[in-house]
Amino acid sequence: MVRYITEHDSPNFTPAAKCRARFGQPRTVESITIHWWGDPATKPSFDGVVSHLCRRAGTSSAHYVIDAGRAACIVDPDDAAWHAGSRTGNATSIGLELDPRATDDVYATAAEVIADLRRTYGDLPLVPHKHWKNTACPGVFDLARLDSLARGVATPAPAKPAPAPAKPAPAKPAPAPTSPALKRGSTGTRVERLQRTLKTRYPLYAKHLAVDGDYGPKTEAAVREFQFRAGLAVDGIAGPATHRALGLTY
């Protein structure tokens, strides 16, 4: 499973609200642009690429920097990163920067990120960077292979109702939970752990969630979004089912 890294924020982007003024068109998400870090002979590194794209007063960025097993989200996909070398490309696509060593693990990680993005933004096509400008980027990457792998990534199955018993069974009292459900107004270390899990694993909708131990409206919104994607009852309350789906002890 990909490990999303969210502690890096690039200042080199255009907020969605300002895209029309800068690019002559609104921010829309219509495709995913595939990049590579550059010639692998130059030995580029994950940390080096993240640092370069997050530099102050820079002229380039991306939405994600991807290596085997990890993906740094450095620009919110709802905003426009400066990655395409094209006004239209910046305004309408999400940019992924991939490790040019192009190992099977890099392909698998990128495919998982692509699948996650498609769950949020729809069935986005993959386009190479050279679609937008004259460049060799994305080098050796096979976009057909990436697309095929991404379509094979499993999506969360919706919850299925339990089959009705053959004979009516006497009702049994539900066991009391070991801890109260977390909901609007809850505070403390359990809330912090929930917030941290959402923020680090699901940056598409929780990247900017504060880990402050206060279950406010933004935490509730992130929980609702997770529940919807996981096929759970959407109530904004982090009870036993939500904790289990997140891999947290209730």
Query: Domain limits of the chain?
Result: 3-151, 189-245
Instruction: Say what the pLDDT of residue 25 is.
Output: 96
Q: Could you tell me which residue, 178 or 207, shows the higher pLDDT?
A: 207
**Consecutive H or E run containing 192:** helix 189-201
Q: What is the architecture of the domain spanning 3-151? A: 3-Layer(aba) Sandwich (3.40)
Residue in the block written with tokens 């698998």: 108
Which homologous superfamily does the CATH classification assign to the domain defined by 189-245? PGBD-like superfamily/PGBD (1.10.101.10)
- Output the CA torsion 140→154→76→242 (10° steps): -160
pLDDT confidence band for 176 (50 / 70 / 90): very low
pLDDT confidence band for 156 (50 / 70 / 90): very low
Return the structure tokens found at 81: 């990163």
Q: Could you tell me which residue, 66 or 170, shows the higher pLDDT?
A: 66
Which tens digit of pLDDT belongs to each residue from 95-115?
Answer: 999 999 999 999 999 999 999
Cβ neighbours of 133 (radius 10 Å): 11
